[in-house]
Amino acid sequence: MTAGDDYFWQGGWIDEAEVGRRLPGLAAVADRALAEPLDPELVIAACDRLSRELADPTTPTPPWAELTGLPAERADAERAELAEFLSAGWLRRTRDRELGSWQPDGVPGDGDTAGGPAAREHWAPLGLLVHVVPGNVATAGPVSLVEGLLTGNVNAVKTSSDSGLLSQRVAAAIAETEPRLAPYLIVLRFPSRRADWLSQLCAPADAVTVWGGDGAVAGAARYVPSGVPLIVWGPKISFAYLGAGAWRDGDTLAAVARDVCRYDQAACSSPQVLYLDTDDHAELFAAAELAAAALSGADERRPADEPGRAEQAEISNVVTVARQEQHLGLTRVWSAPDLRWHVIADARPDLRASPLFRTLWVKPLPRDRIVATLRPARRYLQTVGLAPGGGDRPAMVRSLLAAGAVRITGVGAMHTTYPGEPHDGQHALRRYSRRVSQTVVGSR
Amino acid sequence: MSPPAAGSDDIPPWQRFFTPPAIPDRSALASVEQFCGLPDPYRSDAESDALFVAATNEIMRWHADRSPVFRGIWSAAGSVPLSTVDDLPALPFLHANLFKQHDLASVGEPEVEVVLSSSGTTGAPSRMPFDAWSLRTFQRMDARAFEFHGWIGSPDAVDYVIFGFEPRPNAGREAQRGAAYGLDYICAFAPVRSVTYALRATGAGGHEPDLFGCVEALLRAAEGGTPARLFGFPAYLVSTLDLLARLGLSPLKLTSDSLVLLGGGWKGDEVRRVDKEVLYGRITDELGVPPDRVRDIWGSVEHPLPYYECPNHRFHVPTWARLLVRDVRTLDVVPDGDPGFLQLVSPYVTSAPAHSLLMPDLVSRHPAQACGCGLATPWFTVHGRAGTSRNRSCAVAASELLGAGR
């Protein structure tokens, strides 16, 4: 049996039987690699080279859509985003913003604590960092891997059986460019029902990071020994919030429509609900009608991703129920003639998840009820695209943050990020590091 | 076929399910009463079609007079009665999920005898009100299906093992889980030696699994040579079989007139079919129950008519319902064999406008003769449920968000 491309282990491709032989020795593998600190500049240089290859359209790369398991256009967009993330400039700015200066070999004596011993603090790797990444976000695996590498950890990535091979390819490219990084990189694609492998992977871990829904997180948590930190990047929901009268501005609704159409709402930063600062139903329905027009305009510029049968059925279930609720005076529904988008105006303010693929709830939420309405869902809240209109922006921001949102952007900019931006309220590099201190008594 | 004879001083407990229930308004619902009284559970002919059309028209007028939602939906569709069954594709339907959000009773509170709720594993639970007529009518249909399949009565008292919820003490008529309600009354069709529940009521409102209790009940039945009847969720039966095997007690030899009826809780789509075949094999190998005494049940509280697998393990539509399949995007009716939403029509129900329901389930319909078991009605294959795939989105699932709000 020849080694396929499911299992990448410290610079080489191995087969299933060999994975089975090596996994029980994972702790010793990590011990050896962690004996000496990893120079982050090696990581940055190797990633930057990969970044330039990805950004250069003349570089032959394996079919990107195949690697990511995404439709071609989405795959190209993610390729460009990954290239930006891997660039030296981005990684350095991320590191500096999240961790401050990086001096892993700092010696005691140059820090100062008032009256106490000379002290020095710095960031150190956790050790063996196990990443459990789902197939749902193609770049989650590579991003988590590179963040783990940048913080000096040995990284063992488990990707799901239905995901692409992007994590494997990125790890292989980094190891090929800089062989000194190879000992820090293991990527295995196998289904979560392989309890024996998952258990062997997690047993020696210093931390386990899990991406995915509540079910995936609970599933992985079973294998994490007690006392080992579980770093969760859980499921999220985002929405747009328009202050009084802001919906009357065509540019504002067009910007919301762009946020909806980009990624067809598959990203956690995609708006699923458009909230309006009103409790007037006539205003709600008027705004929703304009939102439908905006979505219709946006639709022509970018074709929608195609839902699968179960996903289409979920859209039809939600839209059909909403259409029938029109007879209860609760809703109004606008759909594209070809059913490629739907706008559902709903007089009930409670937060609802959208069935995605350009299905947008439009709901009333007076600003003084933001906290009470949204706080029950606080652990899922992520981005709010805010257009205050004539309202008091700082007050709205305070309410949205108090309700649990962690990221406030403008409308049309919900997917725009910057180096070192916290993810779901956390700095990833800090979560993947230990803050360590050294003091030497009498060194003064 | 008539129910097994009952002695004058010893009426068997199942006899009451065959008693004709009282129709709320005989002048308005004469055809409904007549249609629901058809005794043969798998009948398909012009006469029953004509009666179905008349009954459906009566029940639509009934709900249009009592349910604002149905009135709105029916009038938006033109308020056109059926002329023949060929008009069914134009028949308005309510989406079953509406019953998760709204109390849609067509009768007053005093008329409601029981409210059955679904498990709500994939969202909010439905709450379905049943008046005496609707409840007894679907129970009579169920009894007739039971009788047809030869499951009524037993020369020996039966050890029942229910892989489901033990009814809560003092739960009253409110908010019974549909599954528990159905499993409870299913024990009335053969004399009881013992009843064992896999999910015991804790007394604190919850339930806890008791697999050792199930193992002991099966051992008792096997050792005593008494028939066993196993009903309920497949997952708990699988766990019980696993426990029997680990304890070194497999295989057991239950009597050949034992019966296994499973329902609900299958995993979606492709997994389901494989799991089901594997489980059927294990039941025969490890418990000694012959394959044609192992059947699946399809059911829902929104449409609680009997859908039992035939000996070929297909779900045939009973006499008292019609089945359409609709495209998941356009909602147009699709040809036999094509997958889509399940629409079920049965004019039996007076307590809520649930006579024509679009279910969130995905199925395909097949003609009667494509089965080969001899039943005269079409049958359907289940293709799982609707849902937003986690493979493409990092957004929170609707069910997760719902949990957060509680």
Q: pLDDT tens digits for A360-415?
A: 999 999 999 999 999 999 999 999 999 999 999 999 999 999 999 999 999 999 99
State the pLDDT at residue B4.
46
Q: Which residues of A touch B72 (CB under 8 A)?
A: 326-327
Reply yes or no on whether the pLDDT at A299 is more than 80: no
Secondary structure in 3-state letters for A397-441: HHHHHHHCCCEEEECCCCCCCCCCCCECCECHHHHCEEEEEEEEC
Question: What would the mean pLDDT of A77-99 be, rounded to a whole number?
Answer: 92
Nearest CA in chain B to A341: B329
Q: How many CB atoms lie within 10 A of CB A384?
A: 26
| Sign of the dihedral through C-alpha B2, B4, B7, B12 | negative
Strand partners, A438: A120
pLDDT digits (tens, 9 = 90+) for A413-428: 999 999 999 999 999 9
The answer to whether residues A384 and A408 touch, using CB atoms and an 8 Å cutoff, is yes
The Cα–Cα gap between B84 and B51 comes to: 10
State the pLDDT at residue B320.
98
Reply yes or no on whether the pLDDT at A33 is more than 50: yes
| Percent of chain B surpassing pLDDT 70 | 85
User: Residue B184: which pLDDT band, with cuts at 50, 70 and 90?
Assistant: low
Reply yes or no on whether the pLDDT at A47 is more than 70: yes
User: What is the value of pTM for the model shown?
Assistant: 0.89
State the pLDDT at residue A313.
95
Q: Where are the alpha helices (DSSP H) in B317-375?
A: none
The Cα–Cα gap between B14 and B4 comes to: 9
Q: Say how many residues make up chain A.
A: 444
Whether the bond into A57 is cis, omega within 30 of 0 = no
User: Residue A206: which pLDDT band, with cuts at 50, 70 and 90?
Assistant: very high
Helix axes A88-99, A40-55, angle to 10 degrees: 140
CA distance A120 to chain B (A): 40
pLDDT digits (tens, 9 = 90+) for A117-141: 677 888 999 999 999 997 666 788 8
State the pLDDT at residue B186.
78
Q: Which residues of B touch A163 (CB under 8 A)?
A: 391
Question: What would the mean pLDDT of A73-82 be, rounded to a whole number?
Answer: 79
| Percent of chain B surpassing pLDDT 90 | 70
Question: What would the mean pLDDT of B356-373 be, rounded to a whole number?
Answer: 96
A352 touches B at CB < 8 Å: yes
Reply yes or no on whether the pLDDT at B132 is more than 80: yes
Q: Name the average pLDDT for chain B.
A: 88
Both structure tokens of B212 = 């050792």
Query: CA–CA distance from B69 to each of A405, A411, B56, B372 (Å)?
Result: 37, 37, 17, 41
Reply yes or no on whether the pLDDT at A163 is more than 80: no
The Cα–Cα gap between B38 and A89 comes to: 78
Reply yes or no on whether the pLDDT at B78 is more than 80: yes
Would you tell me which residues 216-255 of chain A have a C-beta closer than 8 angstroms to some C-beta of chain B? 216, 235-238
User: Residue A438: which pLDDT band, with cuts at 50, 70 and 90?
Assistant: confident
A52-89 burial, b at 16+ Cβ within 10 Å, e below that, comes to ebbeeeeeeeeebbebbbbeeebbeebbebbbebbbbe
| Percent of chain A surpassing pLDDT 90 | 71
Which of A65-69, B297-301, B373-377 bottoms out in mean pLDDT, i.e. has the lowest?
Answer: A65-69
State the pLDDT at residue A134.
77
Residue in A237, A321, A376 closest to B396 by CB: A237
Reply yes or no on whether the pLDDT at A226 is more than 90: yes
CB contact under 8 A, A376 and B404: yes
Q: Which residues of A touch B390 (CB under 8 A)?
A: 134, 136, 212-213, 216
pLDDT digits (tens, 9 = 90+) for B201-225: 888 878 899 999 999 999 999 999 9
State the pLDDT at residue A136.
64
User: Residue A114: which pLDDT band, with cuts at 50, 70 and 90?
Assistant: low
A360 touches B at CB < 8 Å: no
Reply yes or no on whether the pLDDT at B390 is more than 60: no
State the pLDDT at residue A192.
83
The answer to whether residues A140 and A68 touch, using CB atoms and an 8 Å cutoff, is no
3-state helix, strand, coil in chain B (%, to 5): 35, 25, 40
Helix axes A88-99, A72-86, angle to 10 degrees: 60
CB contact under 8 A, B390 and A216: yes
CA distance B305 to chain A (A): 22
Reply yes or no on whether the pLDDT at A267 is more than 80: yes
A404 touches B at CB < 8 Å: no
pLDDT digits (tens, 9 = 90+) for B312-325: 999 999 999 999 99
| Closest to B112 measured CA to CA, from B313, B349, B304 | B349
CB contact under 8 A, A236 and B396: yes
Q: Name the average pLDDT for chain A.
A: 90
Provide the terminal-to-terminal Cα distance of chain B, rounded to the nearest Å. Answer: 50
Nearest CA in chain B to A269: B395
User: Residue A58: which pLDDT band, with cuts at 50, 70 and 90?
Assistant: confident
State the pLDDT at residue B7.
44
More confident residue, B254 or B126: B254
B251-279 burial, b at 16+ Cβ within 10 Å, e below that, comes to ebebbebbbbbbbbbbeeeeebeeebeeb
